[in-house]
Chains A and B, each alone.
Chain A
Amino acid sequence: MRRILFESIASRPLTEAPPTADDAMLAELARKVDAAARRRLGRSLSIREVDAGSCNGCELEIHALNNAFYDLERFGLRFVASPRHADVLMVTGPVSRNMREALARTYNATPDPKWVVAVGDCAVDGGVFAGSYAVTGGVKSVVPVDLHIRGCPPRPVQLLQGLLALLEKQPG
């Protein structure tokens, strides 16, 4: 273990430079997010991830945000274990009917002010799963959504861009 630790100290960090926030996502947020609430929370946000019927592809890439290359916590963003600790709900999946109530309860358990980020193409409108008896019409059909991060699944860099947009000041 010592050798691995020494090697880590001697070598340069793997962590990559942060991407710039995505313009389209900034615009979407500018319409929705209350500037006062954002000031109150500063540059630190706690995120609760909720899988509402995803294929688990989005979860894999959300996990990757914690690895040495993307290192989410350097931005003041971290994943927490309970909605009671969260400022942001990050929701994946088309919202299966079997998860609708659990998602609504998780939303209600999250204290205000709170934002909902819907991740993945199927979270937008059901995507490839739209039209099934077992899914609703995406995250916004169950809880209000502040930001969509598209992709199937979105790359970690795209996820970072979306989350950084949450931290950025609103244009104007």
Chain B
Amino acid sequence: MTIADIIHGERVPAHRPWPRLIVQRNGWHFAGQQLAEGHWTLLGLWGDTGAVHMAVLDERAADAAVLTLECTETFPSVGAVHPPAIRLERAIRDLYGLEPAGAPDTRPWLDLGFWDVAYPLGSQAAPKPCAPYAFLFTEGENLHQIPVGPVHAGIIEPGHFRFTANGETVVRLEERLGYVHKGIESLMTGATLDKGARLAGRTSGDSTVAYATAFAHAVEAALDAPVPLRGQYLRALMAELERLANHFGDIGAICNDASFSIMHAQCGILRERTLRAADACFGHRLMMDRVVPGGVAADVGAAGRTAVSALLAEVRRVFPQLVELYDNTASLQDRTATTGVLRVELARQFGAGGYVGRASGRGFDARRTLSYAPYDELAFDIPVLEAGDVNARVWVRIREVEQSLALIDQIMRRLPDGPVLAPVDPVGSRIREGFGLAEGFRGDVLVWVRLEGPRVVRCHLRDPSWFQWPLLEAVIEGNIVADFPLCNKSFNCSYSGHDL
């Protein structure tokens, strides 16, 4: 049975590839219950003019749907029964002015009190006076607070962490994010597809390929536009190069946070070699603006092919030695093993994607479960571990590096000839909607679009970090303050992708 069979709602005609159903309040409540009882997973929850949308996934049936509740001022809070929705609802309130009725947390989330406008995507009211942010309360003997950020000590993105510690032990961590909110969704409104793709590709720079691909999937679904086979294969090549580069960077950086700098230096070399191969193939180290609706904007020539095979050979020569080094260094393992454990139940409840979910028993991968071309034709394994600690998140990355190498082998071997782009050129002013997913290195990126002819009317981009950030608060509890950098780096959540 599909979700659309289970839940009663009016089906919106031009929404692809999964259905969008307009439900009543009882349907909305029912969906909240399904999430709370673990039958469905929350994929996204976002606002619209006079409505809220909820994307849900039935993992066992590999089925997804968007449920819409029309509302003018309030909507029943999903967060009241399903905590992963809480921050998404706080964001909806800040951006649209729609109140989640019965929500357990009524504090603002993205609106830090610095905008000239309240509810910028809704009523655009005059800004309200901003009360000091009330951090959650902690009580007990010998507790002290450590405020960190928004400007951090390293070359990383800004956010605020409020630690409450008892000596060395963290009793509570509370995150306050939103500092890099750029209003991307407001810029999307009225944008051409070209501008939309550029914005999507700058939602989180480390996942630019994943975002541009998810945006392209959504637009192509809305327009029912075909993508040439070679274009699909080149997208997968870019996606795997992006995954390799980020995983090399993360493995090195996690070890560096345990002061094991030789791994950082060696992994940094592999990351640089990967970016150079990407540059040789596509003319941009991070491959920004190379995935566009209808295909890709750059083709791989002979030089690119040579660079990729040289990269694969070099990684296969060096990486196993680094894995052995990681595995056989007891002082390093001492820092990563049993540190920052994410329980399997929490990973499942939050629908945590990527290495965060897969190190804690959740094997969801959009390349497999809601598969898209060309991954439906490629053979790969999804590594899943249960331990849920920093060590497990490192090992999932190591295994995914190996899988990406094997995938690139297959892609290069099978790379079909032909065009790489079938330009999309929507005419008229019909309203069409699409929903796309792409598996980035961090997890599944969701993009939902409503197009009016060739323009974007509304676009929502959901970073995997929305369902990982709250879990970081959970895993640090009971660990020592000095292990926070390790835990944080092993999650490597995106600030920009989350803050939008």
Contact = CB atoms under 8 A, between A and B. Distances in A.
Question: A and B: partners?
Answer: yes
Interface of A: 1, 3-5, 14, 49-64, 66-69, 79, 81-83, 93-94, 96-102, 106, 122, 128-129, 131-135, 152-153, 155
Nearest to B273: A69
Contact of A153 (B205, B249, B329, B499): B205
Q: Pick the 4 closest A-B CB pairs, nearest first.
A: A57-B205, A132-B183, A134-B183, A81-B153
Contact of A56 (B120, B204, B285): B204
Contact of B157 (A51, A81, A94, A131): A51
A51 B183 CA distance: 16
A132 B61 CA distance: 40
A54 B496 contact: yes
B180 A96 contact: yes
B206 interface: yes
A56 B186 contact: no
Given A68-B272, A99-B150, 10 more contacts: A53-B182, A55-B202, A56-B205, A67-B271, A96-B499, A98-B180, A98-B181, A99-B179, A102-B179, A132-B186
A131 B188 CA distance: 11
Interface string B238-272: 00000000000100000000000010011011011
Interface residues of B, number: 52
Residue of A51, A68, A98, A153 with highest tally of chain B CB at under 10 A: A98
Given A66-B268, A106-B151, A60 B206 contact: yes
Contact of A131 (B187, B208, B272, B499): B187
Contact of B272 (A1, A55, A67): A67
A125 B208 CA distance: 21
Nearest to B201: A55
B115 A134 contact: yes
9 contacts: A4-B262, A51-B156, A52-B158, A54-B180, A57-B286, A59-B157, A96-B499, A128-B199, A155-B285
Nearest to A56: B205
A57 B157 contact: no
B181 A55 contact: no
Interface of B: 112, 114-117, 120, 150-151, 153-158, 178-184, 186-187, 195, 198-199, 202-206, 208, 249, 262, 265-266, 268-269, 271-272, 275, 285-286, 288, 321-322, 325, 329, 494-496, 499
Nearest to B155: A49
Given A4-B325, A134-B115, A134-B120, A59 B187 contact: no
Contact of A53 (B180, B206, B249, B325): B180
A11 to B, nearest CB: 11
Nearest to A90: B155
A114 to B, nearest CB: 15
A90 to B, nearest CB: 9
A98 B112 contact: yes
A50 B180 contact: no
Nearest to A130: B187
Nearest to A68: B269
Contact of A96 (B120, B181, B208, B271): B181
Given A69-B272, A152-B288, A56 B494 contact: yes
A167 to B, nearest CB: 20
A97 B115 contact: yes
Contacts of A152: 202, 288
A56 B322 CA distance: 27
Given A50-B151, A57-B286, A57-B288, A4 B269 contact: no
A133 B271 contact: no
Given A5-B262, A54-B180, A56-B205, A132 B321 contact: no
Contacts of A122: 202
Contacts of A56: 157, 204-206, 494-496
A4 B321 contact: yes
Contact of B179 (A60, A63, A96): A96
A135 B339 CA distance: 38
Nearest to A102: B150
A153 to B, nearest CB: 7
